[in-house]
């Protein structure tokens, strides 16, 4: 199986294909969220990576780009983003937030609600598959 650097163009394409296989089958997040992400320090890019999370339509979508009307904006460095989004290491995210390495602007309660919800078994399967395509 091919592996890709987290958030590289090849990784984004492969992760999107995996996610698309599960469209309409995963339990929607209990709390809708629209969040812009800025990821700094990617080893393959001299510029910050812009992405967003949007669950306002009942599906958890993570795409490249930025939303016009986001509930919050999150700035995080690459390694922490990788631990949180790929390895599902929520403790690393909390530690980084408490240490000031994650900057949040906007409705922080939505971020905590998203983090606190029970993981759908299919969402866990998606996470495992995405972890498998991510280079170490």
Instruction: Give the C-alpha separation, 49 to 65, whole Å.
Output: 8
Give the pLDDT score at 30: 80
CB neighbours of residue 22 within 10 Å: 16
- As its CATH architecture, domain 27-119 has 2-Layer Sandwich (3.30)
For position 111, what pLDDT does the model report?
A: 75
Q: What is the pLDDT along the chain (136 residues), one digit of tens a residue?
A: 899 999 999 999 999 999 999 988 988 778 888 999 999 999 999 999 999 989 888 888 889 999 999 999 999 999 999 998 888 888 898 899 899 999 999 988 887 777 766 677 888 899 899 999 999 8
- For the chain, the structural domain boundaries read 27-119
DSSP characters over 32-72: --EEEEEEE--TT-SS-EEEEEE-TTSS-EEEES--SS-SE
Residue 11: predicted pLDDT = 94
pTM of the predicted structure, to 2 decimals = 0.87
């Amino acid at each position: 199986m091919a592996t890709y650097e987290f958030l590289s163009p090849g990784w984004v394409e492969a992760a999107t294909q995996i996610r698309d296989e599960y469209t309409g089958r995963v339990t929607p997040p209990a709390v809708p969220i629209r969040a812009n992400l800025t990821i700094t320090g990617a080893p393959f890019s001299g510029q910050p990576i812009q992405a967003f999370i949007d669950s306002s339509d009942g599906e958890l979508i993570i795409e490249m780009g930025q939303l016009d009307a986001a509930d919050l904006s999150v700035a995080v460095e690459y390694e922490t983003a990788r631990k949180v989004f790929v390895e599902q290491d929520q403790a690393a995210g909390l530690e980084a937030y408490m240490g000031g390495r994650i900057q949040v602007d906007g409705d922080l309660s939505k971020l905590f609600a998203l983090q606190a919800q029970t993981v759908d078994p299919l969402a866990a399967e998606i996470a495992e598959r995405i972890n498998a395509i991510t280079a170490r």
